[in-house]
Amino acid sequence: MPILEVENLSVSFKQYKRGLIQETSNVISSLNVSIEKGEILAVVGASGSGKSLLAHAILGILPENARMGGVIKYAGEKLTPLRQSELRGTEIALIPQSVNFLDPLMRVGAQVRTSAKKGDKAAAQKEVFERYHLKSNVEHMYPFQLSGGMARRTLLSTAMVSGASVIIADEPTPGLDPVVIAEALQSFREFADKGCAVMLITHDIESALTIADKIAVFYAGTTVEIAPVENFQGNGEALRHPYTKALWRALPQNDFIPIQGTSPHPSHLPQGCLFAPRCEMSSADCRNTRPDMRTLRNGMVRCIHAT
Interacting residues toward ligand ATP by CB under 6 A:
13, 25, 27, 45, 47-53, 63, 97, 266
Closest CB to Mg ion: residue number: 52
Which CB, 170 or 183, lies closer to ligand ATP?
170
Interaction partner, residue 226 (ligand ATP, Mg ion, none; CB < 5-8 Å by kind) = none
The least distance separating Mg ion from the CB of residue 18, rounded to whole angstroms, comes to 28
> How many other C-beta atoms can be found within 10 angstroms of the C-beta atom of residue 54?
28
Which CB, 113 or 278, lies closer to ligand ATP?
278
The least distance separating Mg ion from the CB of residue 104, rounded to whole angstroms, comes to 21
Which CB, 95 or 161, lies closer to Mg ion?
95
Interaction partner, residue 93 (ligand ATP, Mg ion, none; CB < 5-8 Å by kind) = none
The least distance separating ligand ATP from the CB of residue 18, rounded to whole angstroms, comes to 16
> Do 277 and 261 form a contact (C-beta atoms < 8 A)?
yes
CA-based nearest residue to 135, from 119, 120, 121, 146 = 146
Interaction partner, residue 202 (ligand ATP, Mg ion, none; CB < 5-8 Å by kind) = none
Bridge-based pairing state of the strands 299-301 and 222-228: antiparallel
The least distance separating Mg ion from the CB of residue 185, rounded to whole angstroms, comes to 18
Burial 239-258 (b: 16+ CB within 10 A, else e): bbbbbbbbbbbeeeeeeeee
Q: CA 203, CA 205: separation in Å to the nearest integer?
A: 6
Tell me: does residue 52 bind Mg ion (CB under 5 A). yes
CA-based nearest residue to 74, from 95, 88, 94, 56 = 88
The least distance separating ligand ATP from the CB of residue 66, rounded to whole angstroms, comes to 6
Which CB, 3 or 9, lies closer to ligand ATP?
9
Interaction partner, residue 13 (ligand ATP, Mg ion, none; CB < 5-8 Å by kind) = ligand ATP
The least distance separating Mg ion from the CB of residue 306, rounded to whole angstroms, comes to 27
The least distance separating ligand ATP from the CB of residue 26, rounded to whole angstroms, comes to 10
CA distances from 253 to 235, 247, 298 (A): 11, 12, 26
Which CB, 51 or 153, lies closer to ligand ATP?
51
Full DSSP string of 175-242: T--HHHHHHHHHHHHHHHHTT-EEEEE-S-HHHHHHH-SEEEEEETTEEEEEEEGGGS-TTSTT--SH
Interaction partner, residue 302 (Mg ion, ligand ATP, none; CB < 5-8 Å by kind) = none
Q: Which region, judged by CB under 5 A, interacts with Mg ion, from 34-42, 62-70, 93-101, 146-154?
A: 93-101
The 8-class DSSP code of residue 119 comes to S
The least distance separating Mg ion from the CB of residue 52, rounded to whole angstroms, comes to 3
Going 268 to 269 to 272 to 274, the CA torsion angle's sign is positive
Interaction partner, residue 25 (Mg ion, ligand ATP, none; CB < 5-8 Å by kind) = ligand ATP
| Contacts (CB under 5 A) with Mg ion, residues 118-157 | none
The 8-class DSSP code of residue 88 comes to B
Q: CA 241, CA 168: separation in Å to the nearest integer?
A: 25
Cβ neighbours of residue 262 closer than 8 Å, sequence gap 6 or more: none
What are φ and ψ of residue 157, in 5° steps? -60, -40
Which CB, 58 or 161, lies closer to ligand ATP?
58
- Measured between alpha carbons, how far apart are the two ends of the chain, in Å? 28
Binding site for Mg ion (CB under 5 A): 51-52, 97
